[in-house]
Amino acid sequence: MPQRVLITGGGGFIGRNLTRALIERGATVRILDNLHEQVHGRSAGRHRLGSDGEVVIGDIRDASVARRALVGVDKVVHLAAEVGVGQSMYAVERYVSTNDCGTAVLMEALIGNPVERIVVASSMSIYGEGLYRDADGKLIEDMPTRAGRGDGSSGWDPRDGQGRPLVPVPTPESKRPSLASVYALTKYAQERLVLLMAAAYGMQAVALRLFNVYGPGQALSNPYTGVLAIFASRLLNGRSPLIFEDGRQRRDFVHVDDVSRAFTLALEHPAAAGNVYNVGSGRHRSIREVADMLAAAMGRDDIVPEIAGKARAGDIRHCFADVEKIRAELGFTATSDFAHGLAGLARWVASQEAQDRVPKAREELEQRGLVA
CA triplet 61, 104, 33: central angle to 5 degrees?
A: 35
Q: How far apart are the C-alpha atoms of 142 and 127, rounded to whole Å?
A: 10
User: Which backbone phi and psi does 183 adopt, to 5 degrees?
Assistant: -60, -50
Strand partners, 318: none
* C-alpha 100, offset from chain centre: 16
- Which string of b and e fits 164-179 if b means at least 16 CB within 10 Å? eebebebbbbebebbb
Q: CA–CA separation, 181 vs 91, rounded Å?
A: 12
Distance CA(251)–CA(305), nearest Å, equals: 17
Geometric angle at alpha carbon 253, from 160 and 36, rounded to 5°: 110
State the amino acid at position 266 in one-letter form.
A
Given 95, 127, 132, 183, the catalytic residue: 183
Whether 132 is a known active-site residue: answer no
Distance CA 223, CA 358 (A): 5
CA distance 46 to 50: 8
- Catalytic residues, by residue number, are 183
